[in-house]
Structure 1
Amino acid sequence: MHIQEVFNAIYENHKYEYFVINHAFEIIEYSDRVFKFCDGKICEMNNMFNLVPELCGMEVQLNELFKGTRTSFTIPYIFKEPGYYINIHMHPGRRKSIASPADAEPFESLIVLFEDTTAMAETQQSLVQERNEKSLLLEEISVKNAQLETFNEQMQELVALEIQKNLEKQKMLELESRYSQMGEMINMITHQWKQPLSSISLTTNVLKMKEEKHALEASFLTDKLDSILKQTEYMDQTVQAFQDFFKPLKEKVTFNVFDAVSHIVDLVGDTYELQHISVDIKGEKEVFAYGYPNEFKQVILILLKNAKDAFLAAPSDTMQITIETAKEKDKCLVTVSDNAGGIPEAMIDTIFDLYISTKEEGSGLGLTIAKTMIEDNMQGRLSVRNTEDGALFSIRI
């Protein structure tokens, strides 16, 4: 048996230190490092309870060991300053050399083992702390997730509300833009009706004068009535043209871009001529786009009106607007350029933003609506840049 070797290995690795006590609970033997686990001093070593107060009150259990009625007992996980954790194991020691079978206490000593469990205790504490930290972290994550879910729900409600507000605002903007364009068109209708109304009025007065003088001839009457009919037909055509302009189309169609531009210029050309603004159309005539022709016409009208307003703010001897159509790969290209001096560089990057206008009394709606019609409704692109003479707007569909 290698009992001594095993004992030496345990002792040398400092896993265990020991006391040996007698029946009077006096220490009769001890290991040289055992006092690091004790509260008392070496001078008090004759009193075990002074050195190891944890054993106070356990005299009954100790006596049971002396008697052999108990084989051992352990006091686990005792904390000792400055930072040790120990288990105290109590075992019977040496048997009496001369003892009768009736001896009530066959053991003459007890062994008190001090097992150093500091590393194990620290590991367990670390594991418990880590588990607690993970538990707290999981609890915190759960709380944060609940807060995040609530926040997301609130944000979804806010986003839905803002989207609804924006849709309503967009409808209002389109409506305001439509009213503005209708006002512009009414002015044009008024202008275009002035001449035929004057002609009808003059013809009617002539007929009245002839009738009063009884000089109204049948051929003369027929001729003048035909003239009145032609003037009223012209007025009817004008009204029909403006009705078609504002008639909404729910489905996209393929339309001739050059014809759409020409139609707008025919409608508004006279008012521009009165203000000495020349509007020229050039480019390819067989250029087609897929979208909403009336919305496209409204965009052209917005760009024409912006150019006209720029000329009226700073008139010149030669005021020119040029509209050009062309094919560009799988798209059609329409440019509207003028020689009105261009857009201030500080504003050109925000000119399409809502309520941004180069005019003091401008609403900033026109170009915003134009960009929405081209880019959102027809998936095209509306852009602008300055040239040497003025501004050039490009529409790609």
Structure 2
Amino acid sequence: MAAEFKECLRKEEKLLIRTVALFLRVVVFILGVGIIGAIHVSTETAFGFYPEIPHGYELETRESAEETKEHPSPSANKQSVVLQLRWEPQFQFAGYYAALWQGYYEEAGLDVTIRSAFDETGNIRQATEEVQAGRADFGVGAVDILFANENGKPLSVVAAIFQRSAVAYYRLEETKVNNVVDLLDRKVARRHLDLLDVELQAMLIAEGIDPVQLPYTDKKRSFTLEDLTSRRYEIVPSYLDSILLEAREAEVAVSVLRPLDYGIDFYGDSVFTTVKLTQEDPEMVEAFRKATLQGWRYALENPLEMATLITESFEHTRIDQGYASGHEGDDYFMYPSEFLEYNKFQAQQVMELTYYPVVELGNLHPFRWEETHQALSRLGLITKPLEMNSFIFDYETLEQETQQQRQQRLLFLLRLGLLLLIGFLLVAATSRREAHRMEKLFQKEREENSRKEALMIYQARMAAMGEMVAHIAHQWRQPLNNLGLVLANLEDAFRYDELDEDQMNRSVNHSRRLMKRMSDTIDDFMQFANPTLQPDYYEVKLAVQEVLDLMEARLRAYGVQVSLEGDDKITAYGHRNHFSQAVFNLIANAMDALAEHQPSDPSIKVGIEKDPPWIILSISDTGGGIHPSIAEQIFEPYFSTKPEKQGTGLGLYMTKTIIENSLKGQIHWENHQQGVTMIIRMPEKKEGKLDDGKENRTHDRT
């Protein structure tokens, strides 16, 4: 009866192992087919068909330091992009020209045209209007971005170059102004719908003053130092402190009111585009952003060089466009030497506005834009709410969404794989339920010793297989993530025309190595779980390493440092898979102790040495040790210190049974200062005999 019962359990165990292994191999096969298929599709597209790259708008003649050189026509694989400035060329826009002249835009696959705010007839182009109308892809703006966002196509800020506004309000030093309220008694230069006036209004509102108390002027041209010295106005606005430069040259003492001093903290020059472009081509927008910031970094680290290049490149166009700064005719004529000094002065102001290198170039803080939006709402200048998620360009978020869309291509195969994996886990769960069922059967047949042992061995092995399934699932996470990265890299390489045969081969080989790793995990599982009938010689260290490999992911997740020491050539005689199960049980027990005790340096040390005719295996942990009160019980069946339903209480009992009965050895333990050491003695050779005089345990301290 007992022999038939054992044989029945053995057959059922073999069937379960084969079923689990079959499920795992089918999952690996399906994943492999999906990945190789995706690589094939990507490769076919890359080497067989090229999607047409849409060209941008008709490009104007490019002004640069090398304008005498012949410009080659844009390459077919470069994307044409137009950047619209908010004023004429000067150091205010040095970073964009640096990105163009240093080749950063070209390296990003972009053929960029930088357009002045003034056309050939002297009419000004509004950057926001040009971008919303599709005549430019990117623009440079500030609070006007929020105004345009109110009534036109939704806009998105890509990078804030000036971390604070370049607007300031100047007065002669002799004109006393102690606070904003004093402005009511002064002649303040204001123009209706002037962007330079917005922050003045915000300052007045912040002090509880209605801006309508200060009248507007009908002056069309820019405000200059002459407006102050002639007493036409007592307070005039200025951008990038241009009046300060005039005052220094004329040796006139002036004072300044800055909005920031009154809590008005608007961003200055910022790069923007349409929300539509950020959604349709986020990679291009990100490439433009990175190249632009690289250009600004170069300009800020080489200000004299860039000031000189800008002067040499645009000195003639600036003289021809005297109207560009609001002056008329000869009173704005600026010699090249003056233009150079002007750009050097602007370089100093721009350095202060960017806060470079203290603040990261292009830094965007949603809260500040929200505060600016609320300030404009209080002025009644805008009414619509701000959609911050789309207003601030966040490539990482968009890339995550894109990655999710890419992964849909393999979803149908992955779903099938997951269904099979679920089936695999259900089999494991069934195994555990079967273990509980067999436990009840064992209780009924307790009087039959052979039947009792068979049931307990089966139950323990089923529980161990359940734990092993969890380890395999954990072990597969990293290769699955790596397979996903392979696909993403292929997609990126194709999108940027970088996919070649060499990369394709590397990707295929890498994918195959990952799948082999997953397949090897199944082989290790089969080696561990497959019952053997005949003992044989086996390499002890190799058997231990295979168990550690199966448990690697969980050990790493728990932060456990594992060391394995011993001669690779040490062999023992017995059932290898029984030995592996005993080692698995002891290491799992050590992990549980470490998780409960939570030492600062969780570690497990495994040592292998020869003591003829024995092989000594020691497994030491830092999990706190075994308390003397339970010292006599740890090897008893159904004894466990774990919470109910979290352990069968058979792990150490079965380990002791396997070592003594199957391996013809013995096990004992010793507490040390930080934990416990489990020591196994096994025969080195077939004729080794058990030393009956050895106690099953020793302990010295807890």
2:658 is matched with 373
1:180 to 463, 473, 478: 463
Q: Shift of residue 389 of structure 1?
A: 2.2
SS of the residue corresponding to residue 628 of structure 2 reads: coil
1:9-28 matched pairs, under 5 angstroms: none
Aligned partners of 2:651, 2:546: CA distance in 1, in Å?
20
1:234 to 497, 517, 520: 517
Q: Shift of residue 245 of structure 1?
A: 1.3
Is 1:253 the counterpart of 2:536? The answer is: yes
SS of the residue corresponding to residue 346 of structure 1 reads: helix
For residues 110-162 of structure 1, give each alpha carbon's deviation from its aligned partner in whole angstroms, at most 9, with x where no partner exists.
Answer: xxxxxxxxxxxxxxxxxxxxxxxxxxxxxxxxxxxxxxxxxxxxxxxxxxx97
TM-score (norm 1): 0.55
SS of the residue corresponding to residue 169 of structure 1 reads: helix
Aligned partners of 1:237, 1:297: CA distance in 2, in Å?
16
Contact 1:348 1:385 (C-alpha < 8 Å) held by counterparts: no
SS of the residue corresponding to residue 643 of structure 2 reads: coil
Contact 1:284 1:327 (C-alpha < 8 Å) held by counterparts: no
2:564 is matched with 281
Aligned partners of 2:445, 2:502: CA distance in 1, in Å?
70
After superposition, the Cα gap between the structure-2 partners of 1:203 and 1:331, relative to the gap in structure 1 and judged at 3 Å, is same
Q: Shift of residue 199 of structure 1?
A: 2.0
Aligned partners of 2:472, 2:640: CA distance in 1, in Å?
27
Is 1:349 the counterpart of 2:643? The answer is: no
Q: Shift of residue 204 of structure 1?
A: 2.8
Aligned partners of 2:673, 2:577: CA distance in 1, in Å?
31
Contact 1:341 1:390 (C-alpha < 8 Å) held by counterparts: yes
Is 1:330 the counterpart of 2:613? The answer is: yes
1:305 is matched with 588
2:672 to 368, 387, 391: 387
Amino acid at match of 1:331: W
Contact 2:626 2:675 (C-alpha < 8 Å) held by counterparts: yes
Identity %: 29
After superposition, the Cα gap between the structure-2 partners of 1:234 and 1:283, relative to the gap in structure 1 and judged at 3 Å, is closer
Is 1:193 the counterpart of 2:476? The answer is: yes
Q: CA RMSD in A?
A: 2.3
1:83-122 matched pairs, under 5 angstroms: none
Is 1:364 the counterpart of 2:649? The answer is: yes
Q: Shift of residue 278 of structure 1?
A: 1.3
After superposition, the Cα gap between the structure-2 partners of 1:223 and 1:392, relative to the gap in structure 1 and judged at 3 Å, is closer
For residues 279-299 of structure 1, give each alpha carbon's deviation from its aligned partner in whole angstroms, at most 9, with x where no partner exists.
Answer: 111234432211011110111
1:59-208 matched pairs, under 5 angstroms: 165-207=448-490
After superposition, the Cα gap between the structure-2 partners of 1:259 and 1:206, relative to the gap in structure 1 and judged at 3 Å, is closer
Q: Shift of residue 393 of structure 1?
A: 1.2
Give the count of matched residue pairs: 237
Aligned partners of 1:394, 1:248: CA distance in 2, in Å?
24
2:201 is matched with none
Contact 1:383 1:395 (C-alpha < 8 Å) held by counterparts: yes
After superposition, the Cα gap between the structure-2 partners of 1:210 and 1:329, relative to the gap in structure 1 and judged at 3 Å, is closer
After superposition, the Cα gap between the structure-2 partners of 1:366 and 1:222, relative to the gap in structure 1 and judged at 3 Å, is same
Aligned partners of 1:340, 1:266: CA distance in 2, in Å?
21
Contact 1:343 1:386 (C-alpha < 8 Å) held by counterparts: yes
Consecutive unaligned residues in structure 1, runs of 5 or more: 1-160
Q: Shift of residue 164 of structure 1?
A: 6.8
- Which structure has the highest strand share of the two? 1
For residues 296-325 of structure 1, give each alpha carbon's deviation from its aligned partner in whole angstroms, at most 9, with x where no partner exists.
Answer: 011111111111101111101111211111
Structure of greater Rg = 1
Amino acid at match of 1:395: I
Q: Which has the higher contact order (CA 8 A, sep 6+)?
A: 2
1:29 is matched with none
SS of the residue corresponding to residue 532 of structure 2 reads: coil
Consecutive unaligned residues in structure 2, runs of 5 or more: 1-443, 683-702
Amino acid at match of 2:477: K
Q: Shift of residue 357 of structure 1?
A: 1.6
Contact 2:659 2:667 (C-alpha < 8 Å) held by counterparts: yes
After superposition, the Cα gap between the structure-2 partners of 1:177 and 1:351, relative to the gap in structure 1 and judged at 3 Å, is same
Contact 1:353 1:368 (C-alpha < 8 Å) held by counterparts: yes
Amino acid at match of 2:464: Q
Amino acid at match of 2:454: K
After superposition, the Cα gap between the structure-2 partners of 1:327 and 1:210, relative to the gap in structure 1 and judged at 3 Å, is closer
Aligned partners of 1:234, 1:335: CA distance in 2, in Å?
29
Amino acid at match of 1:328: D
2:422 is matched with none
Q: Shift of residue 387 of structure 1?
A: 2.2
After superposition, the Cα gap between the structure-2 partners of 1:316 and 1:226, relative to the gap in structure 1 and judged at 3 Å, is same
1:224 to 507, 532, 546: 507
